[in-house]
Structure 1
Amino acid sequence: MKIASIETIPLRIPFTTGGPSAGGVWGAKDLQVVDSLVVKVTTDGGITGWGETFGFTAVPAVKLIIDSILAPELIGRDVSQREKLQLELQKKFHIFGRSGAFLFGLSAIDIALWDIAGKAANQPVFQLLGGSDASSLACYASLIRYADAELIRRNVQRAIDSGYRHLKLHEVDVECVRAARETAGPDIEITLDVNCPWTVREALDMTAKLRPFNLRWIEEPVWPPENYAGLAALRKQGGIPVAAGENASTLLDFQHMLEAGAVDFIQPSPAKMGGITELRKVFALAAAHNVDVMVHTFYDGPGLLASVHASAALGGGKALVEWRYFDLEAQLYGDAILPRNGRIAVPQQPGLGIEPNLDVIRDYRIAL
């Protein structure tokens, strides 16, 4: 089979978060809509695969890259040659950068090609990756940044009441973390993603203040994110396990991170770093370094499904799935993938296992 068409579909879906957002790396203060880019790849045999890029304000740039550079290169190519296409396009266009919009777009197309491969083989993607006995995986509610202790208390309790036993905060204030732990009690696992704000010295000062709250990990504590030596120093001295990887772009980035001893948990983002083809290699690298993979999934579409399939097949029973704890006005998959009692189903149908709701695409598609 050959690639017949590649269509980029930008979506904008309103959401609430249990209170106003304080802003963060994903968007402005009081953000009320989430932008995403879904990619539809169709073969000459009529099989359709779906992929997703990392979204928000990156959507226009990624759409342009796919439409003007990647799609013209890929039309007419063999859909089964995912590995070859990945390497060929990374090499051909490396002069435009080894991260950002180009790799985001390549990631979405790769995910769609895996969806096609599963459908052609009449198997779910997790079976193509080695198989799994898991019908569901534990997930954690990934809260937006509130920067308000009362909102933290309210939404931590809301997540716990919904059945979550694992939570992620995006706070940078000690009192907000304290409020979360006091509300959750000692038995709920809490992780903290601070999105690269501090020098190593500042991070060490902060971990000293945060240690009493028994965090499972502190995520991306150091600026710049590629300061792997700094992460390694914090890991040795800070007293809190370290997680990072959502901003790493290539397999070599992950190799350098692991060789530096920078992390206890590594977090590749399949909608950013090459899709499932590259994601499975990170699992292998991490296993060789005895480091657990916790896939970054701050999205709701095919990228999330890719993460679920890979985690089920390759996560060794340890993986947690990140669930973006937004109250979306509409879900791309309806209620088919919504977590229940803190667990998310592993789709059992061929390919990624769930088809997007075309009514949602029609109603929330935007022009760029």
Structure 2
Amino acid sequence: MIITCVESIPLRIPFKAGSVSDASAWGDSNLPAADSLLVRVTTDQGVVGWGEAFGFRAVASAKIAIDQLVAPLCVGQDATRIAPLMLDVQKKLHVFGRGGALAFAISALDIALWDIAGKAANMPLCQLLGGGAADLPCYASLVRYSDPPLVRTSVRQAIEAGFGMLKLHEIELPAIRAARDESGPGVELMLDVNCPWTLTQARAIADDLKTISPKWLEEPLWPPENVAGLAELRSATGIPIAAGENVYTLMDFERLLAAGAVDFVQPSPAKMGGISELRKIFPLAAVHNAEVMPHSFYDGPGLLAAIHATAALGTADSMIEWRRFDLEAAIYGRAFSPKHGRISVPRGAGLGIDPDPDVIGRFRLSL
């Protein structure tokens, strides 16, 4: 089965006017839309696979990486030989870096090839990976609002939507406390601060953070590769630590885990090599007594990749990150969404669902 075409498809889906999500994202005020980058891989037998690269402001650069670097190495190759092909791509392109937009592009291609593999075998990807739960617990991953009243509104809406676990992206104590005050003690809160602090600064704020009893504190340190600092913060404060979204290679994940730096490791399938690399993290984490909680702050094939891999390889405590954005449209339509804090694993072949062509037609972005 030969790859005949690799097409990168940028999308820009606006926030609904007046929605809470429209207010801010990571403090990026007036962000008008959520940009994403899909990849469609077609074979000579007519089997089509879909992948996703991490998007937002990286869409243009990831598209260039796909179109000019990754796709030319893949067209004409055997789609069924995923591991050899992806290793060859990585080796030939490593001089351009092992992370960033190039890693996003490679990830998208890999996810699409696994979608093709599942479709060719006529089985859901989770089954192809060796197992599969029917559904998984998921938590609402909120954007950063900074303003305590907006935080309260967002938290209340997520709870009313059935979520019993929420992840904040706040970094200021008033906003963090507002979330706990609104949720009450019965809701689990996670806190992702996106690498803002030195080790000294993080230790100084640790006692205040403990008052909200976070399930984990995610990426507290700058730079994110300060593995020794994460291990020291975890040991000194007793706060469970999560990280991994900005880790790109298996060797670096091994260093993170071997250092005792995290309780929860967070590989991002649309960033770190797709399903081929993601599936290797689960046994590695088990050796180090850490839980895998994939990063999936996107809502296309990258999200489905996280769901299928977790359903097949995760534990009873594994959870899915559900990006809670109020957009004008969803890549898979409104039918695919959590109910009562759980998400069903799609049972169709491959990733189980293809992107809605009407959504692609309406929101395709010219670059």
- Using the size of structure 1 for normalisation, the TM-score is 0.97
Deviation at 1:253, TM superposition (A): 1.1
Alignment correspondent of 2:3: 3
Overall identity of the aligned pairs, in %: 57
8 A Cα contact 2:21 2:143, kept in partner: no
8 A Cα contact 1:207 1:239, kept in partner: no
SS of the residue aligned with 2:211? helix
Q: CA RMSD in A?
A: 1.1
Alignment correspondent of 1:233: 232
SS of the residue aligned with 1:279? helix
Query: Structure 2 regions of 5+ residues with no counterpart?
Result: none
For residues 200 and 99 of structure 1, the distance between their equivalents in structure 2, rounded to whole angstroms, comes to 24
For residues 279 and 23 of structure 1, the distance between their equivalents in structure 2, rounded to whole angstroms, comes to 26
Q: Which amino acid aligns with 1:365?
A: R
Residues 306-362 of structure 1: CA distance to partner in whole angstroms, max 9, x if unpaired? Answer: 000011111112111101110110011112321111111100111000111101000
Alignment correspondent of 2:364: 365
Q: Does 1:149 align with 2:148?
A: yes
Deviation at 1:20, TM superposition (A): 4.8
Alignment correspondent of 1:293: 292
Alignment correspondent of 2:74: 74
8 A Cα contact 1:211 1:239, kept in partner: no
8 A Cα contact 1:200 1:222, kept in partner: yes
Q: Does 1:200 align with 2:199?
A: yes
Q: How does 1:337-352 map to 2 (within 5 A)?
A: 337-352=336-351
Q: Which amino acid aligns with 1:279?
A: L
- Using the size of structure 2 for normalisation, the TM-score is 0.98
Alignment correspondent of 1:189: 188
SS of the residue aligned with 1:8? strand
For residues 87 and 213 of structure 1, the distance between their equivalents in structure 2, rounded to whole angstroms, comes to 44
Q: How does 1:211-360 map to 2 (within 5 A)?
A: 211-360=210-359
For residues 330 and 20 of structure 1, the distance between their equivalents in structure 2, rounded to whole angstroms, comes to 14
8 A Cα contact 1:193 1:219, kept in partner: yes
Q: Which amino acid aligns with 1:226?
A: E
Alignment correspondent of 1:18: 20
Residues 190-236 of structure 1: CA distance to partner in whole angstroms, max 9, x if unpaired? Answer: 00000000000101111121111110000000000000000000000
For residues 69 and 55 of structure 1, the distance between their equivalents in structure 2, rounded to whole angstroms, comes to 18
Q: Which amino acid aligns with 2:247?
A: A
Deviation at 1:244, TM superposition (A): 0.2
For residues 21 and 351 of structure 2, the distance between their equivalents in structure 1, rounded to whole angstroms, comes to 33
Deviation at 1:21, TM superposition (A): 3.5
Would the alpha carbon gap of residues 323 and 19 (structure 1) be closer, same or farther in structure 2, given more than 3 Å must change? closer
Which structure 1 residue ranges, 4+ long, deviate > 3 Å from structure 2?
A: 19-23
Alignment correspondent of 1:31: 31
SS of the residue aligned with 1:40? strand
Q: Which amino acid aligns with 1:182?
A: D
Q: Which amino acid aligns with 1:18?
A: V
Alignment correspondent of 2:135: 136
Report the count of equivalent residues. 365
Q: Which amino acid aligns with 1:254?
A: F
